[in-house]
Amino acid sequence: MIAPSVGLPLPRTDGFDKVTGRAAYVDDLRVPGCLHGATIRSTIPHGRLRRIRRDPAFDWSGFTFVTAADIPGQNVIALITDDQPALVDGIIRHAEEPVCLLAHRDRERLLAGLRAVTLECDPLPAALTIREGLARKAKIYGRDNIFKEIRIRKGEVRTAFRGAHRIVEGTFRTGLQEQLYIETNGMIAIPERGGRMSVLGSLQCPYYVHKALKRLLGVGDDRVRVVQTTTGGGFGGKEEYPSMLAAHCALLARKAGKPVKIVYDRLEDLAATTKRHPSVVRHRTAVSREGRLLGMDIDVLMDGGAYLTLSPVVLSRGAIHAAGPYRCENLAIRARAVATNTPPNGAFRGFGAPQTIFAVEMQLNRIARALRIDPVELRRRNVLRPGDSTATGQVLDAGASGPLVLEEAVRRSGWSVRRASFTKRAPPDPERASKAPRKGTASGRIRRGLGLSLFYHGAGFTGIGEVYLDSHASLAVTRDGSVEIHTASTEIGQGMRTTFAQIVGDELGLPPSMVRLAPQDTSLVPNSGPTVASRTCMIVGKILANAAADLRDALVQWAGDSPRRAPGRRATRGPWNPQQFRRLASAWVRKTGPKVFTRKYDRPPGMKWDEKEYRGDAYGAFGWGVNVAEVEVDAETFEIRVPRVDVVLEIGTVVNPLLAQGQAEGGTLQGVGYALTEEVVRKNGRMANAQLTNYIIPTTADTPEFRTTLLSNAYRHGPFGAKGMGELPLDGPGPAIAAAIENALGVSIVELPITPERLAKAIRARPAHE
């Protein structure tokens, strides 16, 4: 028996190869005879494609050229609905939409070829904003440009507003955000001799790509094989987009009869691929004198871009989280995803929740100011406690950790003392011209502020989503007596290779190093579902833990029946040491044939969800969090610094504290960028700042000091009590930083990102706190 590894800060098993440059990413793979592929994209946001003109003077020898006419199956990227084509067929609905494809052996020639193609289009009026989409400035989707509308109702909202002490209103906006994985999207398609198309690339969800390619090529399951290569980050950006890129590579490879590789450069990746949905969220809240939330009326709008992609599910998560982790018996939430003539927005860590949580947290701060209640006290009075029910009527059990994280964060951050010391002053005078120049230290100009956010995030697919997914995962015992994990779950930097090995190892009483991971290859591994929605450790990890228990029991039984029985008595985890296991398992396979233990997702008993009414148990478990952010704002230049963020997260059993802390810090930092600097500038629907020089993510120098505390409130149905945590950290920084800036300057913040330019404008307009 060896000591359990769950709970230990083991380093990532893939870490060494990655930091030493040994890991091979898709662009590092050498495939003999491979052509380079490239995409010709629309430059207008809406229009009719009249003709694709290839310069007759150009030497086209050696080129492969693909248009929508070359698609053997259906011209769709199969996902939720079939509205998005792989290549434009007639109508261009957004800028950067793929129109046709080129491939050539030589990269320079390929670039020359790109310049020799022109698109002749008749532009149509374009709807570039949510407002224009709603006003049907262009017809993009259905009759009303609404991809999806969701309504959540609870109690009697009208009555609640009638009896209110006060009604507080606010409208809050957030912008686009790029996932900014380090490795850009890249893919290789290899047409195989037997007619199968193999696709290798940087992706999160092998079976999403598999499904899309089958439809596109019009072939069956075994005619498409999808393999994940070492992936340099995803954050949702490689959830649905790789299906598009794989489609393009496969079409070129099919026509050329040769392997084709496309790796986007940063410019193309930024300009053309999915981003976080912009949002406009309007709140009306009825409150009592003591600040109880009597009624909430919330309207959520999200910009889906030109095609539906994952917008309905992003919207759904946004809507469910829109009331925050607060008790309110009367609420009405209306959420709509709107079509616009912009590149489709898609999955991004948090998946709709960072937008609506920003809004509800800022609304709570507004209420606190209106009632002159401390923001912490207001949250204390309203936070969901065990026995309370969420917006969808999900009754929380002892897993409701809101009060726990709140009090822990208040204590650890020294909230009361620090908040009091950053005394509120009058809004600064940006001109100061009339005043005599002071001899100057910076101290008078730097305003400090402290802000807090409280949030929760549901782990796994929403409602009965996990039931529909019907995820399978297997464990195989190899002839050499080691254990192999078979899942389609992908390592994208979050550390699943390591946590899976810890979970399976512990269940079998083996060190994690004895547990291997089979390649994420659809021809080898079962569909364990997409690697998204904070579900991998909690959902797939649990399936694996169950499979491991089956394996252990079967082996113990066989060993018991067999003449060469294992020595020693049966321990809880496994009656063997690693050497004994190896010998025993190897003999088992050699004597009785291959061993594979497959389990599928078991829905926790008692979970109920009504998809039509949006009522019931939206998630198996919630992670809970608080951020306390400190800011320093230069009251004249409006430069903003975040010196410190206290991060308190409750994520169930912490399988690996080192990796969990990495997730907490990385996610929080991504949220700092979302709050302050990350902004997509568009001109006529095209990204104008598609360069890392001008799309501003935080550098190390911009990174706050993180003080991270991980708390555990074990979840009965997670592996060893673990819950999902990948997305949770990104929900909190936006509102915490915004609240800190409100505290520092005495202005009202209603929009992310909070750039110095916006802040300067807000101060000039001088809408001090209401």
Q: Which of 437, 563, 605, 606 binds another protein (CB under 8 A)?
A: 437
Does 43 interact with another protein (rule: CB under 8 A)? no
Instruction: Name which of 628, 632, 629, 636 is nearest 759 in CA terms.
Output: 636
Does 134 interact with another protein (rule: CB under 8 A)? no
User: Which tokens go with 647?
Assistant: 């991060």
Q: Which is nearer to another protein, 292 or 758 (CB)?
A: 758
What is the distance between the alpha carbons of residues 710 and 660, in angstroms, rounded to a whole number? Answer: 8
**Binding positions for another protein, 648-687, rule CB under 8 A:** 677, 681
Residues in the chain, overall count: 770
**Least distance (Å) between residue 606 CB and another protein:** 49
Does 159 interact with another protein (rule: CB under 8 A)? no
Q: Which is nearer to another protein, 557 or 694 (CB)?
A: 694
Q: Which is nearer to another protein, 136 or 761 (CB)?
A: 761
Q: Of 129-137, 274-282, 432-440, 446-454, which part binds another protein (CB under 8 A)?
A: 432-440
Per-residue DSSP letter, 603: P
Contact 25, 186 (CB under 8 A): yes
Q: Which of 372, 435, 569, 612 binds another protein (CB under 8 A)?
A: 435
Q: How far is CA 712 from CA 649, 657, 745, in A?
A: 8, 11, 36
Does 580 interact with another protein (rule: CB under 8 A)? no
Main-chain phi, psi angles of 624, to 5 degrees:
-125, 150
Name residue, tokens 């670039």: 111
Contact 25, 232 (CB under 8 A): yes
Q: What number of chain residues touch another protein (CB under 8 A)?
A: 35
Q: Which is nearer to another protein, 572 or 699 (CB)?
A: 699
What is the three-class DSSP state of 63? coil
What is the distance between the alpha carbons of residues 207 and 200, in angstroms, rounded to a whole number? Answer: 12
Q: Which is nearer to another protein, 206 or 734 (CB)?
A: 734
Region of 766 please: left (phi>0), alpha (psi -120 to 50) or beta: left
Does 714 interact with another protein (rule: CB under 8 A)? no
Main-chain phi, psi angles of 52, to 5 degrees:
-105, 115
What is the distance between the alpha carbons of residues 503 and 483, in angstroms, rounded to a whole number? Answer: 12
Does 407 interact with another protein (rule: CB under 8 A)? no
Does 443 interact with another protein (rule: CB under 8 A)? no
Q: Of 394-402, 438-446, 480-488, 547-555, which part binds another protein (CB under 8 A)?
A: 438-446
Q: Of 216-224, 531-539, 614-622, 635-643, which part binds another protein (CB under 8 A)?
A: 635-643
Per-residue DSSP letter, 96: T
Does 193 interact with another protein (rule: CB under 8 A)? no
Instruction: Name which of 314, 339, 346 is nearest 132 in CA terms.
Output: 339
What is the distance between the alpha carbons of residues 117 and 237, in angstroms, rounded to a whole number? Answer: 29
Q: Which of 3, 143, 193, 265 binds another protein (CB under 8 A)?
A: 265
**Least distance (Å) between residue 694 CB and another protein:** 5
88 to 117: interface string for another protein, x by CB under 8 A = -----------------------x------
**Least distance (Å) between residue 746 CB and another protein:** 19
User: Which tokens go with 119?
Assistant: 């698109």
Q: Which is nearer to another protein, 435 or 612 (CB)?
A: 435
What is the three-class DSSP state of 116? coil
**Least distance (Å) between residue 271 CB and another protein:** 11
Does 572 interact with another protein (rule: CB under 8 A)? no
Q: Which of 149, 329, 484, 636 binds another protein (CB under 8 A)?
A: 636
Q: Which is nearer to another protein, 372 or 438 (CB)?
A: 438
**Least distance (Å) between residue 550 CB and another protein:** 52
What is the distance between the alpha carbons of residues 213 and 205, in angstroms, rounded to a whole number? Answer: 13
**Least distance (Å) between residue 641 CB and another protein:** 8
Name residue, tokens 């089958």: 214
762 CB contacts (<8 Å, ≥6 apart)?
Answer: 747, 748, 749
Q: Which is nearer to another protein, 104 or 336 (CB)?
A: 104
Does 557 interact with another protein (rule: CB under 8 A)? no
What is the distance between the alpha carbons of residues 631 and 668, in angstroms, rounded to a whole number? Answer: 15
What is the distance between the alpha carbons of residues 191 and 34, in angstroms, rounded to a whole number? Answer: 11
Query: Where is 171: in which H helix or E strand?
Result: strand 166-174
Does 513 interact with another protein (rule: CB under 8 A)? no
Does 182 interact with another protein (rule: CB under 8 A)? no
Neighbours of 416 (CB within 10 A): 13
Instruction: Name which of 272, 298, 301, 334 is nearest 174 in CA terms.
Output: 301
Instruction: Name which of 371, 663, 370 is nearest 499 in CA terms.
Output: 663
What is the three-class DSSP state of 695? coil
**Least distance (Å) between residue 249 CB and another protein:** 22
The terminus-to-terminus CA distance of the chain in angstroms comes to: 64
Contact 651, 730 (CB under 8 A): no
Does 420 interact with another protein (rule: CB under 8 A)? no
Q: Which is nearer to another protein, 511 or 756 (CB)?
A: 756
DSSP 389-410: B-TT-PBP-TT--HHHHHHHHH
Q: Of 214-222, 376-384, 437-445, 605-613, which part binds another protein (CB under 8 A)?
A: 437-445
Query: Where is 333: in which H helix or E strand?
Result: strand 331-339
**Least distance (Å) between residue 696 CB and another protein:** 5
Q: Which of 24, 135, 267, 768 binds another protein (CB under 8 A)?
A: 267
Identity of the residue numbered 575: P
Q: Of 374-382, 399-407, 436-444, 488-496, which part binds another protein (CB under 8 A)?
A: 436-444
Does 21 interact with another protein (rule: CB under 8 A)? no
User: Which tokens go with 137?
Assistant: 């400035």
**Least distance (Å) between residue 137 CB and another protein:** 24
Residue 70 burial (10 A CB sphere; 0-12, 13-18, 19+): middle
Does 446 interact with another protein (rule: CB under 8 A)? no
Q: Of 66-74, 144-152, 503-511, 755-763, which part binds another protein (CB under 8 A)?
A: 755-763
**Least distance (Å) between residue 163 CB and another protein:** 45
What is the three-class DSSP state of 615? strand
683 to 702: interface string for another protein, x by CB under 8 A = -----xx-x-xx-x-xxxxx
**Binding positions for another protein, 452-511, rule CB under 8 A:** none
User: Which tokens go with 683?
Assistant: 């001109």
**Least distance (Å) between residue 745 CB and another protein:** 15
Q: Which of 55, 59, 553, 757 binds another protein (CB under 8 A)?
A: 757
Does 561 interact with another protein (rule: CB under 8 A)? no
What is the three-class DSSP state of 181? coil
**Binding positions for another protein, 319-378, rule CB under 8 A:** none
Q: Which is nearer to another protein, 322 or 680 (CB)?
A: 680
**Interface residues toward another protein, by CB under 8 A:** 111, 265, 267, 430-440, 636-637, 639, 641, 677, 681, 688-689, 691, 693-694, 696, 698-702, 756-757, 760-761
